[in-house]
Amino acid sequence: MTKTSNQIIIVGAGPVGLCLALALTQANIPVTLIESRTDENFLDQVPRAGTNHPITLEMFDRIGLYERIEPRGLIAPIVHYWEREGPELIAEFDHALLKEDTPFPYVLQCERLKIIEEALVMVKADKLCSLRMNTTFESFEQKDASVVARVINQEGHSEDIHGRYLISAEGAKSLIRNQLDIEFEGFTYPDRTLNIEVVYDFKKHGYADRNYISDPDEWSNLFHWPGPPERWRVHFPTPADADPEELTKPEFLQSKMKKFMKTDQEFDIRGSNLYTVHQRVAKSFRKGNTLLVGDAAHVNSPIGGMGMNSGIHDAFNLADKLIAIYQDEVDDTVLDRYDRQRRTIAVEHTQAQTIRNKKLLMEKDPTVRQQNQEQLRKTAADPILARNFMLRASLINSVRQAQEIQ
Ligand SMILES: Cc1cc2nc3c(=O)[nH]c(=O)nc-3n(C[C@H](O)[C@H](O)[C@H](O)COP(=O)(O)OP(=O)(O)OC[C@H]3O[C@@H](n4cnc5c(N)ncnc54)[C@H](O)[C@@H]3O)c2cc1C
């Protein structure tokens, strides 16, 4: 056995790969983390996730990441459900209802880029983590107790990296998942979502830091982000056949904001991007010594802020099992339990909930809309129902449910 062959190879220094690397090295397990981006362009990525739920904050805290990101984020205990017509506030939920369930009874609005920036600093200082930036994973082979990952290294040469396990944290386009021939089951929504970043004080209109806004024609999400400058992200659906170039033209973005706020005033728009939304789960999260985590294993609509969060939950679930294997407490059949636990949650919780969330926001039938509003009002008004609602929305239930799966 060569000196490095006992290590775990993780492909992808996104939030999931970085957290997994830190959880493993902190348990004395050597890791090589492979990332195709360079130090120069690592933070040059479009805005994506940023809503961090309480149970995820507990996990960040375990590896020492929470204290680094909290000062860069915005603590958001309140979430609102609105009807766009009016606009009318339908329901308000306060994470304080979860104070017996978590030491973090709030959401931290902190963008993915800040999380990976801080986690990367930690990984760079970590002697047990060999971080290989500017290195692109290409293919791999696995035998009974070993894996070999073939990469193009920063000198542009092909190189073999040996390890005991290989983890795909490479995101939705995972080469490892494709090379394992694992089906990515599910569907892609025909419409795309437009994200507009704007500097504006929505709070003066009564909005909370996080708002889900229902409308039969044009639903929306409205989220507050820390500065400088303080920004809000507004999401709108767009027609499936619309020209992407037209959708991101400054005059079109202005018209969207003006219609949304029913005003003629110009908005201070700082950015926009258009994204396609998929609902897909890999048919298996494990094949031999190779495992899938995060977006490599599942992707979903961002309504509800569950993608990155559930990916981080995969990372910690898997880390605990790998740590137990390395400490000779269990054999590696425990990795099948990782697949059972996290795949079940991806299908039954994350997919089901995010599909429901989108349906709730875009429902067209007036009778069903009425029923949905009544249900939300009733839930928010009853502390027991409201706590149950928040346990589900904050993903605490999904982590508890995973633990019960043998
Ligand atoms: C608009 C939008 C908003 C979102 N909002 C939320 C939210 O509020 N909350 C939430 O929980 N989720 C949200 N998500 C989802 C979230 O962004 C993803 O679930 C999360 O980033 C997945 O993390 P990951 O580490 O698995 O993969 P990624 O973040 O995709 O990271 C993968 C990494 O692998 C690297 N890589 C890829 N291929 C290779 C290769 N061959 N060799 C080496 N390196 C490679 C990439 O460069 C990248 O650094 C949102 C998504 C979108 C699109």
What's the pLDDT score for residue 228? 85
Decide: 87 in ligand 1 pocket, CB within 6 A.
no
| pLDDT reading at 377 higher than 70 | yes
Decide: 186 in ligand 1 pocket, CB within 6 A.
no
Cβ proximity of 27 and 4 under 8 Å = no
Decide: 287 in ligand 1 pocket, CB within 6 A.
no
What's the pLDDT score for residue 136? 98
Nearest partner of 324 among 310, 312, 338, judged by Cα: 338
Q: What is the mean pLDDT of residues 374-380?
A: 97
Nearest partner of 95 among 189, 208, 261, 224, judged by Cα: 208
| pLDDT reading at 251 higher than 70 | yes
Helices (H), 159-249: 175-179, 244-247
CATH number at residue 82: 3.50.50.60
What's the pLDDT score for residue 278? 92
What's the pLDDT score for residue 49? 82
SS3 186: strand
pLDDT band at 183 (very low <50, low <70, confident <90, very high): very high
* pLDDT tens digits along 134-170: 999 999 999 888 999 999 999 999 999 999 999 999 9
Q: Which two tokens stand for residue 356?
A: 């429901």
CA–centroid distance, residue 46 to ligand 1 (Å): 10
pLDDT band at 26 (very low <50, low <70, confident <90, very high): very high
CA–centroid distance, residue 295 to ligand 1 (Å): 6
Average per-residue pLDDT in the chain?
95
Q: How many CA atoms lie within 13 A of 163 on its CB side?
A: 22
| pLDDT reading at 314 higher than 60 | yes
Measured in degrees and rounded to the nearest 5, phi and psi for residue 189 equal: -65, 140
Instruction: Among 283-292, 298-307, 310-319, name the one with the lowest average pLDDT.
Output: 298-307
Nearest partner of 226 among 51, 16, 103, 43, judged by Cα: 51
| pLDDT reading at 3 higher than 50 | no
Pocket residue to mutate for ligand 1, from 33, 170, 272, 357, most atoms within 8 A of Cβ: 170
What's the pLDDT score for residue 2? 46
What's the pLDDT score for residue 356? 87
Name, of 187-201, 238-252, 331-345, the range with top average pLDDT. 331-345
pLDDT band at 303 (very low <50, low <70, confident <90, very high): confident
Domain-located, residue 61: yes
Domain count for the chain: 1
- % of the chain surpassing 90 pLDDT: 87
Give the domain extent around 115. 8-185+279-404
* pLDDT tens digits along 38-74: 999 999 888 888 999 999 999 999 999 999 999 999 9
